[in-house]
Amino acid sequence: MPAREKESYSIRSVDNALALLEALSEEDEELSLSRLSERMGLNKASVFRLLATFERRGYVERRQGSRDYQLGPSAYEIGQKLLSRMGLLRKARPIMEKLVRECDEAAYLVVRRNGDALFLDMVDNIQQVKVVSLVGRRLPLDSCAAGKIFLAYDDSDEGMQEQVLKEELEGIRRQGHAGDCHGIGEGGACLAVPLLDAAADVVGVLALVGPEFRMPQERIESQLLPALKTAGEVISSKLGYLGYSLQKTH
């Protein structure tokens, strides 16, 4: 998009809000309203309204008895989530590439975004016939194998699940994987396994996606699922999960 066109879509209030967060992030010490106003070239009333909004949402805070401002816990949480996600991408990518070389089907890294499964990254295969790229797509958690992994390992969702789905999710958790046809679109098949961190929380899903005709049950059991599970275990180990190594020692 040309720079002039980007400028036409710019929203001044959002620019100012982001500039305020950037100003606070660049200083180790707290900043006063006057100093922030001078630094941003805005009047105090405008800066105060931004600060009040951010303070209410936890992105800015003041120590008790202080009039000066600093970044709050919500800003820290977003930074931690970004770092975690970047770490997940960095650790998963080489394993995904190896998995694609072994199976010649597309590998996806999927993360949870509220009530959806977000297909965050993909390593493609060299097949001529393939499923249309899902990168950037969001699908409801209960509509696809990758999303059902998140539901299966999330106890907080149990009360909201219908009985049929609950039984399916129990099976997924027991087996350690999920699979479906058409969940990602007509003619597509998907296999998925959880990616666990040091706290045994599911931080992502590793999935193999391909045309249904190329993923018959025999191939799934003999090649695809063993390779996918091994790749998922390797990534989980890199994320600090010790469960798989403990299982192998018993």
DSSP the chain: --HHHHHHT--HHHHHHHHHHHHHHT-SS-B-HHHHHHHHT--HHHHHHHHHHHHHHTSEE--TT---BEE-HHHHHHHHHHHHHHHHHHHHHHHHHHHHHHH-SEEEEEEEETTEEEEEEEE----SS-PPP-TT-EEEGGGSHHHHHHHHT-GGGGGGS-HHHHHHHHHHHHHT-EEEESTTSTTEEEEEEEEEBTTS-EEEEEEEEEEGGG--HHHIIIIIHHHHHHHHHHHHHHTB--HHHHHHH-
Side chain identity at residue 178, one-letter code:
A
For the chain, 250 residues long, give each residue's pLDDT as a single digit of tens. Answer: 454 544 555 689 999 999 999 999 877 789 999 999 999 999 999 999 999 999 999 999 998 888 999 999 888 888 767 766 678 989 999 999 999 999 999 999 999 987 899 998 999 998 888 888 888 888 999 999 999 999 999 877 555 567 768 888 999 999 999 999 888 888 899 999 999 999 899 999 999 999 999 999 999 999 999 999 999 999 999 999 988 765 654 4
Give the 3-state DSSP-derived string for 22-42, with helices as H, strands as E and coil as C: HHHHCCCCCECHHHHHHHHCC
> Is the distance from CB of 92 to CB of 121 less than 8 angstroms?
yes
Domains recognised in the chain with CATH numbers:
3-71 (1.10.10.10), 81-249 (3.30.450.40)
Residue 77 pairs in a beta bridge with none
Q: Which two structure tokens, joined as six digits, stand for 229? A: 């599970």
> Is the distance from CB of 122 to CB of 100 less than 8 angstroms?
no
Closest of 222, 219, 190 to residue 207, by C-alpha: 190
Measured between alpha carbons, how far is residue 75 from residues 63, 94, 121 in Å? 16, 30, 25
pTM to 2 decimals?
0.67
